[in-house]
Chain A
C-alpha cells in the first residue's frame, strides 16, 4: 500500500494520544472492548473452546423443549409433519416416504435428521443458541441450550439420558456422522474446483 507518509505519521501520533487503537494504515475504526467481543462472539468451534459455562441434561431439556416453544413448531415428538425440520430420528418416517421432491438443504423435511446429521455436537449447541426459538432468537440461557441439546442427543440415541452436557462433555460427544464429511480441498486462485472433472 503506497500511502502518503504524513498519513502514517498522523496515525501513529493518533494512537499515542488516544485510548483507542485504530487501523494502522488508515487510522479508521477502533478496538472493540473485551466485553464487546464476548457479547458478539457466538461462533462455537468443534473444539468447543467458545462454549460458555453451564450444564444441562436430557430430562431438563425435555421440559424446556415444551416451555420454550420448540414443540410448537417441531412437534411434541420431534416432527411437525413438514412445517419445521424434523429433529428426532424416526419421528417422521411416513412424511419422508411420501416426499417426491428433494428439498434444498439445510431444509425442512431433510431425510438426514438435523440432530444426527451434524458431525459435531457443537454445531447443534451453536445453532440452538444463535437461531432458536423462532422469533426469540438468542433468548435462551446457556443452561437451557445445554439441556435442549442433551435432550435432542438423547432422543436420537447419541447419549444416555443422565449424561450431563457442559463445556467439557459436549465437544467429546461422538456423533454418528463424525467421520461422514470431507472438507473442500485447499482453495487456490485460478484453479478449477476439481481437477479432471468434465
Chain B
C-alpha cells in the first residue's frame, strides 16, 4: 500500500516536471495560473483538510499580556480580522479569552456532566449524549470580549478589534433545560460555571437565560474546539464574552447577583456604566483597508468590514471617506442575523490623497454606533481611547496616507 502510494506520488511529480518542461517550450502561463507541485500531505488533506501553506494568517496574543505567560496560562488571543471574509470566523482563528489566564482543559466528553440545580423543582444532571438527544438549533452569533478596546498604540485591526469573532453554534436552548428543571417563582439570576481548573463563573439575569441563551456542543459544523469550551459551553447572545461560560458543568438558579470573581471584575459604582457592560452596543469596523495594509495606488477598491450589535440585527452601515464629515450608505453583503457579525461593502475610488475612513452602524432598535466625541459629550468630559466607559463600541478611524499606507487614526 505504502509503496503504491509513493509510486503514485512519484508519478505525479514526474508528470508535473514533464508538464513544466513542456510549458518551457511555449509561452509562460501567468504565475497565478500555475498548478504547482502536488501537495505532499495528501493523507492529512483527505482526513482533516488543512489550508494551503500559502495562507499564513494566524492569531496572536494581546500585547498587554503574553500567552502563554510565565505560568503557562493562555490569556487573550486576537483573531486576524484584517484577513477576514464573510461573517464566519474559522474555528482555528476564533479569538480566545480566559478568566484569569487558564490552562486549556482536556475534557473527556464521556465523563462530562451538566448539572442544573438551585431554585428549581427538579434538579437534573445530563450526560453529553443525553443533551444531544434533546431538540437542538443552530444559530450564528458573535462573541466579543469587554477588553476589545482600540488604543493609539495598536497598529492593526487585529490589535484594535481582534477580541470579537462569529460562528454558527449548535445546541439546546437553555430555556428548555430550565423548564425541564422547573424554575421557581422567586428566582431571578443564574450562576453558570465551567469545569476548568479555575471553575470560572458568571451571574446572568434569568430573563436572558430564559430568552435566547443556548447550551452549545458544536460550532461551525463540528464539536467545539478545546479553546472554545469543548465539550460544552454557554452562549448568551449579544452579551460580553465572559458570560459565554466554557466547559459548562453547572447552572445554579438563584435569587440574587452572586458577585463571583468574574462578576466583581466588572462592577462599577455608576449604574450607567454598569448598564453598558453586559449587552454589547452597535459596533462596526473596517477590516480593509485597515492599519498596516498598503494600497498599491489610486483606483477602485472595495472597502469592507464587519458590524454587529448585542441588541439584535444590524439594520444599516454608513461609511465616511472624509473623517466623518459626510456619510454614505454601505451595502450589507450577508444576511443580517441578530447578534451576529454582518459584512458590509462600499465601492470606493481612491484619488490618491490622504484621507480618513470610518464606518458606523445602526441596529434594529435604531441605536447608532457613536463616535468618541459623542461619547465624551454624553459623559461631559474628555474620553481617552481605551477609557470609554463600559464596552467600547466607538467608531474606528483608519488614516490612508498619500503613499497608500494605512494607519490607526487614533494615533
Contacts and interface: CB of A to CB of B under 8 A. Distances in A.
Interface of A: 1, 21-26, 28-32, 36-37, 40-47, 73, 83, 101-108, 117-120, 122-123, 126-127, 130-131, 134-135, 137-138, 179-194, 197-198
A191 B311 contact: yes
Contact of B365 (A130, A131, A181, A190): A190
B100 to A, nearest CB: 7
Given A104-B65, A123-B261, A182-B267, A26 B134 contact: yes
Given A123-B260, A137-B198, A192 B274 contact: no
A186 B241 CA distance: 19
Interface string B178-194: 01111000000001010
Interface of B: 62, 64-65, 70-71, 75-76, 100, 115, 117, 122-126, 130-131, 133-134, 145, 147, 177, 179-182, 191, 193, 197-199, 201, 205, 207-208, 211-212, 249-250, 252, 254, 256-281, 310-312, 365, 367-368, 370, 374-375, 377-378, 386-387, 390
A102 B124 contact: no
A190 B126 CA distance: 31
Contacts of A188: 207
A101 B201 contact: no
A38 B271 CA distance: 35
B249 A119 contact: no
B199 A130 contact: yes
7 contacts: A102-B387, A130-B199, A131-B100, A137-B199, A184-B278, A187-B279, A197-B370
Contacts of A46: 256-259
Contacts of B124: 21-23, 29-32
Contacts of A130: 198-199, 201, 261
Contacts of A42: 193, 199
B373 to A, nearest CB: 10
A193 B281 contact: yes
B355 to A, nearest CB: 24
A104 B100 CA distance: 10
A192 B275 CA distance: 9
Contacts of A1: 179
Q: Which of B76, B115, B258 has the most chain A CB atoms closer than 10 A to its own CB?
A: B258
A104 B125 contact: no
Contacts of B378: 197-198
A29 B260 contact: no
Contacts of B133: 26, 28
A102 B385 CA distance: 11
Contact of A43 (B65, B260, B266): B260
Given A43-B260, A135-B197, A138-B199, 18 more contacts: A1-B179, A26-B180, A31-B124, A41-B252, A43-B252, A104-B65, A123-B261, A137-B198, A179-B269, A181-B268, A184-B275, A185-B275, A188-B207, A189-B207, A191-B365, A192-B367, A194-B275, A197-B272
Which 7 A-B pairs have CB atoms at the shortest separation, nearest pair first?
A106-B265, A23-B180, A181-B267, A198-B370, A182-B271, A104-B147, A198-B374
B278 A193 contact: yes
Contacts of B197: 131, 135, 137
A138 to B, nearest CB: 8
A31 B276 contact: no
Contact of A123 (B76, B122, B264): B264
A189 B274 CA distance: 17
B259 A122 contact: yes
A161 B257 CA distance: 30
Nearest to A189: B211
Contact of B258 (A43, A187, A190): A43
Contacts of A117: 264
Contacts of A138: 199
Contact of A104 (B64, B70, B270): B64
A106 B201 contact: no
A185 B193 CA distance: 22
Contacts of B387: 102
Contact of B264 (A29, A31, A118, A192): A118
Given A23-B181, A184-B275, A187-B279, A101 B64 contact: yes
A103 B180 contact: no
A45 B311 contact: no
Contact of B311 (A126, A185, A190): A190
Given A122-B259, A181-B269, A190-B312, A108 B276 contact: no
Contact of A193 (B252, B270, B275): B275
A110 B208 CA distance: 30
Contacts of A32: 115, 117, 123-125
Nearest to A84: B71
A54 to B, nearest CB: 19
Contacts of A119: 259, 264, 267
B139 to A, nearest CB: 15
Nearest to B270: A182
